[in-house]
Amino acid sequence: MTIGGIFTAIVFGGIIGALARLVVPGKQDMSIWLTVLVGIVAAFAGTGLSHLFGLRTHGWNFWETIFQVAFAVIGVYLVAAFWPKKRTH
C-alpha cells in the first residue's frame, strides 16, 4: 500500500465513520480517531463483501458504499455500547 493509499483510507474512513455516527441514534462517546478507525475497518469489510458478491470494486459502486456504511453503522453502535464512557466530575 502506498502513502497515497493510506491517506485515502484515512480520509474515506473518516467520512464513512462520520456518516455512521449521523445514522446511529443518541450520543456516542467516541473520539475522532476511533470514528476514523471504525470507518477504515468498515470500508475494508464493505469492499470485501462486495468482492464476495462479485460486484465491481474499483471506482465508485453504489452497493459497495452501502455495505461500507452499513458495516460502519454496526461498528459505531458496538463501540458506543461497549467503549468505556468518559467520566465527568
pLDDT attached to residue 88: 64
pLDDT recorded at residue 69: 93
Q: What angle do CA 3, 4, 6 make, to 5 degrees?
A: 65
**What percent of the chain has pLDDT above 90?**
37
Has residue 12 got a pLDDT over 70?
yes
pLDDT at 1 over 90: no
- Which range of 2-6, 33-37, 81-85 scores highest in mean pLDDT? It is 33-37
pLDDT score for 67: 92
- Between 71 and 7, the more confident residue is 71
Cα dist from 13 to 32, 39, 54, 84, whole Å: 11, 4, 23, 22
Angle of CA points 7, 12, 15, to nearest 5°: 135
